[in-house]
Structure 1
Amino acid sequence: MGTTFEQLSEPTEAIAEAYHRWENDPDLIPMIRPNKDKEALESRHQVSVESLRQRLEHHEIYLVFADGELVGEANFMVNPGHLYSKRQHSAWIGISIGEPAGRGRGIGFEAMRYLEERIKERGIKRVELGVFEFNEHAHRLYRKLGYKEMARIPDFTYWNGQMWADIRMEKFL
């Protein structure tokens, strides 16, 4: 069956439960959100159907399935305020492979390519993303896909006893 994608238009309780699990997984927290200190790493976020509906106001979200099982999500925003480069007609992209069964199988690569195609269909020619300095696996993936480092924001997130930079990368489609 392989990897498939489905645009999220109406969240369900089951989808909200999966997001809640991923966003509160101690192994994923350092990878998916910036943390100012150790206490922030230990904090938990509530994810509900309503909070996912609110995300849909600003994000295009695609659920990622591997062999028919939900394993993650991929999303993008157009011209969000947190872009490092304030170029108009830019997308901010993000992926999260929340289920361990989905990791290490090339699904992140497929999700990135899928998002790039959706972004191109919208006529957007530039993509920006952020990757935490310690996340070498993701950094290698983005370089393999043709993303180039454009900036580093020092002391952006806490992990493993120290502060790390956020590496901003871009690609022109």
Structure 2
Amino acid sequence: MKTNFFKLTEPTQALVDVFNQWENNPDLIPLTRPNQDKVALERRDTLTLDELKQRLEHHHTYLIYLDDQLVGEMNYMVDPEHLYKNEAGTAWIGITIGEPAGRGKGIGYQAIQFLEEEIKKAGLTRVELGVFEFNTQARKLYEKLGYKEIGRIENFTYWADKMWFDIRMEKYLLKDV
């Protein structure tokens, strides 16, 4: 099996449909977006092609393929308002492995390493992310990749009948010599 990453520059309606499928998957919603209550958790959103094009103005987005199958996407933004530590030149990252075929195969690990290289090429040296407290698998992945916890935001997301922390993590990237 071969993993490939491609920068998204020209979104299509077919891609929008896939993103909508992932963003509305009841198994993924608790992992990918904060929800304030049960109603929010059950809310479904529909992304349009124009909205995806607008998103690309602020997100550097990459598609994740396993062999020839699109299995996920990852992205970074530079200096968004929601940083825990407001340090200029910070990349905020996100990753979604939307297809079950892409999970549990080390693709997330490869994807984050690829994304970190792209971030370094862009001249950035700090990465920050948020991971929900109950998402222990993702936390272990980030820790394995060298991310350190820098803070927690209380009552950040609702899942399994209770509110959970958002754990913020950071990593400083070494510049290539």
Matched, 1:25 2:25: yes
Q: What is the CA–CA distance in structure 2 between the aligned matches of 1:167 and 1:81, rounded to whole Å?
A: 16
Q: CA RMSD in A?
A: 0.6
Measure the CA separation in 1 of the matches of 2:71 and 2:48: 18
Aligned residue in 2 for 1:87? 87
Q: Which residue of 2 aligns with 1:150?
A: 150
Describe how 1:51-90 pairs up with structure 2 within 5 A.
51-90=51-90
2:136 alignment partner AA: E
Structure 1: stretches of 5+ with no match in the other structure: none
How far has the Cα of 1:10 moved from its partner? 1.0
Alignment-mate amino acid for residue 28 of structure 1: L
Flag as ranges the 4+ runs of structure 1 deviating above 4 A: none
Cα deviation, residue 13, structure 1: 1.1
Amino acid across the alignment from 2:150: M
Q: Which amino acid aligns with 2:116?
A: E
Report the 3-state secondary structure (helix = DSSP H, G, I; strand = E; otherwise coil) of the residue aligned with 2:30.
helix
Q: Name the residue aligned to 1:172.
A: 172
Counterpart amino acid of residue 80 in structure 1: P
In 2: Cα distance, 1:165 partner to 1:96 partner: 19
> For residues 78 and 26 of structure 2, what CA distance do their matches in structure 1 show?
29
Q: Which amino acid aligns with 1:140?
A: K
CA offsets, 1:97-144, max 9 Å, x none?
001111111111111001000000011000000000000000000000
- Segments of 5+ residues of structure 2 without an aligned counterpart are none
TM-score (norm 1): 0.99
Which whole-Å CA distance do the structure 2 matches of 1:104 and 1:47 have between them? 27
Query: What SS does structure 2 have at the residue aligned with 1:26?
Result: coil
Q: Could you say which residue in structure 2 is the equivalent of 1:114?
A: 114
Paired amino acid for 1:109: Y
How far did residue 21 of structure 1 move? 0.1
Cα drift, residue 85 of structure 1: 0.5
- 1:2 CA drift (Å): 0.6
Q: CA deviation at 1:48?
A: 1.9
CA–CA separation in structure 2 for the residues paired with 1:51 and 1:3: 27
> Partners of 1:59 and 1:36 in 2: how far apart?
24
Q: How many percent of aligned residue pairs carry the same amino acid?
A: 60
Q: Post-superposition shift, 1:82? A: 0.6
**Which residue number corresponds to residue 42 of structure 2?**
42
1:22 is matched by which residue type in structure 2? Answer: W
**TM-score for both structures, normalised by structure 2:** 0.97
